Structure formats: structure tokens, C-alpha cells
Amino acid sequence: MFYQIESMRKRMVLMLCLLPSLVTATEPATAVAEAGNWQAVTTAFARVSARQQAMLGLPFAARIVALNVEPGARVAAGDELARFDAPLLRQHLAAWQQALLEVRLAQKRLKVLRESESQHAITRREQVTGELAVAQAQGTARMYWETLAADLDLLHLKGDAKTLAARIDREGVPAVARAYGSLRAPFAGIVTKRQVALGERVDANSPVFELESLKLIYLEVGVPQAALPVWKGGETRWHAGAAQGLLKPLDGAALFDADSGLWLLRYQAENPDRLLRDGAWVEVEHVAAPQPVAWVPAAAVVARNRKTWCVIRDGDRFKPVRVEVGPAVSGRVPVLSGLAAGDEVVTEGAYELLYRDLKELIKFVD
């Protein structure tokens, strides 16, 4: 029995002597950080607003006799939206017509006076009186025309005095009033609201339609203050299904929105097929300007307590360094700070080395 125990003891001593030669220290795998560029990509939501918006009304009281469009309808500039009957418009047309007749009568009287003066049948004073009468009639007609032109301008109707006067002589006041009793779109857009019903009597300057031009739109994006530097420069696009468009930043500093705690950035964009509507929310993506980074394999970045680290070779030893990184791209991670191109980083066993050097339990945060 003694001999068996002694034999086992000798074999154990022999194995302990041979153990150092059997255990070989393994060097961790490493890679060299490579210089390159990286563009941060962030997304947010933007609120759409119409670049041009108008509440259309009538400059005088009227009765609605026809409604040609409903909310949601797309209209071109000059399209008729509604027809109306306005007594005041007829009065203005009739008053101007009468003033033009007074001008013609005064001019005829002056012509007779001039012929009589040339025959020494009247005095020069009588001719001057006739000239003053013409001037007064012309002034009255001009005043009535300015009133009527203001009405037509508010109705977004174009016309010159000579053409309109000839039309009144040809067709009469009632026919011209019916033809001009039309509310037309001042620009191409979408009818977003209708405020009247057929047959309704409306007061002067009462809203009838709301019209929005959505060929160009504004977008307002809210971002945290820390993200403002990222949104300077680069390119921003809106996305709605398969459709997308480029945003053009507007001049001016970001405005703080106390309700959301975000900073508001304003953009302008084209709106193909009037896809985006006023008040809608749309996703936008911002690709920041390129910035220099050090690229490392994803396995070289380890996380603990919401902090990121890399383990680098420093001569004959390894040491952990805090790093700021962006999201991984094709198995590589862009290191924004804490690491330089050319540094040798551990790609296998980095967690173990980090634990050994920090001397505390690692809480994995992946």
C-alpha cells in the first residue's frame, strides 16, 4: 500500500513539473483602426404647412346661386369656384355706366360750344364753363371706375375700363353683372374648406372658401438641442411611402418650442402631385455632412453601464479606453472620439481584458 501511494505522489510531482511547458499563453486577436469618413443618419417627424394660403370672400353682400367645388377639390388659377348675385355690384356697374354717359354728354355740349365760339356766338367764359363740366364728369366717372376696379380686384377678375365699357354698351348692366358675379381661384391649389351653402346670403367680406397652394410647402422639424450640430449641413429628405423629396433649409436660427422641449428647424420643399397636405406629419431623414472617424470591427467595441470601450495594445500590455461610436455598418463601427487611426484594438477577449483591468463586474449592455 505504501509503495502505491508513493508511486502516485511521484507521478503528481512529475506532472506539476511538466505543466508550465504544457500551458501556452494565447495572445488576443487584434486589428488596426482604419481612417475613414462617416455620415450620421437621423430621423424625425415634420409638420407640413402650406406655403400659400388664402381665405376667399366677397367684397359685398351677395346671395350664392351656384357652388362649383367641394372641399378637397384641386383647382387651377382662374377656375370658377362659385357664382353669386350681388345688388351692390349691379349698382356700381350702373353708376359707372351713368357717369360715362354724363362724360359723353358734357363732351358733346363742349363741342357745340367750341363751334359756337368760333362763330362768335358765345363768349370765351361759356366755353370754359363747358370744359369744367367735362372735367367734372370725367372725375366722377374715374371715381366710380376706381370703386368698380377694386371690386373686380377683390374678386380676382381682370379687366380694363375701355373693354368693360364697351361690353356694358353691348350687353347691358344686368348681363355684365351676371357674368362678373363669379368667385375664382387666385392661384392653383386645393380647396380645404367651404363656409357657405347654396342659396345662402352672405355679408360683405364673409369667408366663402379656404384655398391652399401646395406646390411648395413648409416643413417644421423638431430636434433635441444636442442634435442641432448634426442637422447643420448634409442633406434632408421627407418620405411618404414610396415618394420622397429634398428639403431646402430656410434662413434663420432654430426656435425653441416650450411645449415639446425641442428646437424647430424650418425647411421648404416641392410637393409632387400635391401629395402632402397642410397639417400633416411626415417622416424626414437627415444625412449629416461627412466627418473623419476611425473604423474598427464591431467585436472591438464593448459596452458596460451604457458606456462604450475599446481595449488597445499599449506596448506589451493592454488598456481600456472610453470611446464614442456611431451605429455599426456592415460589421464595422465608426469611432468618433477616443481612438485614432492606427491604434491596435482587441477584437477577441475584449470583455475579459476590460473586466481584468477595471476590477469590477461587467454588466452587459448590448
Measured CA to CA, the distance from residue 104 to residue 145 in angstroms comes to 15
Where does the pLDDT of residue 121 fall: very low under 50, low under 70, confident under 90, or very high at 90 and above?
low
Residue pLDDT, tens place only, 91-106: 999 999 999 999 999 8
Helices (H), the chain: 2-22, 87-118, 124-154, 161-171, 173-180, 350-358
Lowest-pLDDT range of 45-49, 247-251, 360-364: 360-364
The rounded mean pLDDT for the chain is 85
DSSP state of 288: P
**Model pLDDT, residue 245:** 93
Residue 260, Cα to own-chain centre: how many angstroms?
19
Residue pLDDT, tens place only, 311-344: 999 888 888 999 999 999 999 999 999 999 999 9
- pTM for the model stands at 0.57
Q: pLDDT above 90 covers what percent of the chain? A: 54
Across the range 179-200, mean pLDDT stands at: 90
Q: Name residue 184's beta-bridge partners.
A: 80
Higher local confidence (pLDDT), 170 or 123: 170
Residue pLDDT, tens place only, 16-71: 444 343 333 467 899 999 999 999 999 999 999 988 888 998 888 999 999 999 99
The three cell numbers of residue 106 are 358734357
DSSP state of 240: E
Residue ranges of domains in the chain, CATH in brackets: 41-51+214-287 (2.40.30.170), 56-209 (no CATH), 291-358 (2.40.420.20)
**Model pLDDT, residue 119:** 64
DSSP element (H, E) containing 121: none
